[in-house]
Amino acid sequence: METILFLAFPEADGSLSKAALETLAAAQQLSASIAGSKIVVGLIGADIQSAANAIAACGAARFLGVSGAEFAQSRYATDAAAAEAIAKSAAATIILAPAGSRANRALPGVAQRLGGRVDTHATAIAAAEGKPSISRWYYRQRMEGTLSRTTRPWVVLLESGCTPAYSGAAGTATVEGVLVALPTIRTEVAGFRSPPADQQTIRPDAKLLFVAGAGWTKKQPDGQAHAAEAEQLILGFLGKTQASLGSTKSLVDLSGEGQAVLQFMTHLNQVGQTGSTPRHAKGLATCCHGEEPHTVGWRFIGERRAINLNAACSWAQGKADVLYVADAFEVMRKVNALLG
């Protein structure tokens, strides 16, 4: 019989992230397809009661928690000690957690302490005839593999955006506190540094990914580059739509070559083989050629559209659902005007 531990770290405001709720939904589906299995919820954080209440109706057999100021912040020693204690208390055989920074850092070590195994970057978990297996992508999302393990406990870190989030009613959950021997604490989190909200262009939860390519900074048919207008058009569109901003490698590399670049773009925006593989319902590529090392990062984009002057660009070779052969400056000027 499998005991599926859903393990999560509530946010600073006590809520559960979308990724955590997706993982809970995956745990429910898994449990439904393994006869005799049960779900145990494990929460780690400063205050975990409101998170437990938010998922009170999820059907868990038990709610376990480790709470207190020492567990508020991400720190390997305390996160690993808490997760280990909860896993032991639950007698968990499968431990499912969202692949956030805290779980990614602490849970592989916890698997080692428990004598189990861990798989990271899983994109699905399911069971056929009572036997669970996970899906995972290899070679920068070019091949998908399915694997199962007999070793228990089996820790699985599930990527976000792979399954609809749990949305049950809130209630009142009775949380059993799990005692943890506090490890030596050598790391203190001094604070957070993050860009102002209007400069935060990477929005994983946005419906649309807007990709800007190097063409925005290249000489246009009038013989001039128009980086300042490009910046204004792109920021205008992002401001109106709250789309997430992606880039090609060529565009973010340009700054290193001393060329006129879009100031708000960094390597963190880069999508592709050596960049990110975001998940969005739709994507719009502009002034981007659509070469394979870039488009491999579009694996999980639902509907793909591109605007390019060149009808023979790579997007036309089966990589986009719709290619607009047009001047992206003109199109985005018009789109921004229509958006008001």
Ligand X SMILES: Cc1cc2nc3c(=O)[nH]c(=O)nc-3n(C[C@H](O)[C@H](O)[C@H](O)COP(=O)(O)OP(=O)(O)OC[C@H]3O[C@@H](n4cnc5c(N)ncnc54)[C@H](O)[C@@H]3O)c2cc1C
| Residues making contact with ligand X (CB under 6 A) | 213-215, 218, 220, 248-251, 270-275, 287-289, 291, 293-294, 297, 307-310, 313, 327-329
Specify the residue, 51 or 313, whose C-beta has the smaller distance to ligand X.
313
Residues in a beta bridge with 278: none
Specify the residue, 63 or 237, whose C-beta has the smaller distance to ligand X.
237
Smallest gap from Cβ 166 to ligand X, in A, equals 33
Omega prior to 132 cis, within 30 of 0: no
Smallest gap from Cβ 322 to ligand X, in A, equals 14
Smallest gap from Cβ 98 to ligand X, in A, equals 25
Specify the residue, 74 or 232, whose C-beta has the smaller distance to ligand X.
232
Specify the residue, 75 or 289, whose C-beta has the smaller distance to ligand X.
289
Smallest gap from Cβ 182 to ligand X, in A, equals 42
The span from the CA of 333 to the CA of 266, in Å, is 24
C-alpha separations of 187 from 8, 73, 78, 99, 184 in Å = 21, 10, 10, 22, 9
Specify the residue, 125 or 214, whose C-beta has the smaller distance to ligand X.
214
Place of tokens 């969202």: 98
Contacts with 14 (C-beta within 8 Å, 6 or more apart), sequence order: 45, 46, 47, 48, 49, 50, 51
- For the chain, first and last CA: distance in Å? 58
Smallest gap from Cβ 263 to ligand X, in A, equals 17
Specify the residue, 9 or 298, whose C-beta has the smaller distance to ligand X.
298
Specify the residue, 131 or 142, whose C-beta has the smaller distance to ligand X.
142
Smallest gap from Cβ 240 to ligand X, in A, equals 20
Specify the residue, 79 or 231, whose C-beta has the smaller distance to ligand X.
231
Tokens of 181: 């021997």
Smallest gap from Cβ 195 to ligand X, in A, equals 22
Q: Which of 301, 235, 230 is nearest to 272 (CA)?
A: 301
Other CB atoms within 10 A of residue 100 CB:
18
Smallest gap from Cβ 159 to ligand X, in A, equals 18
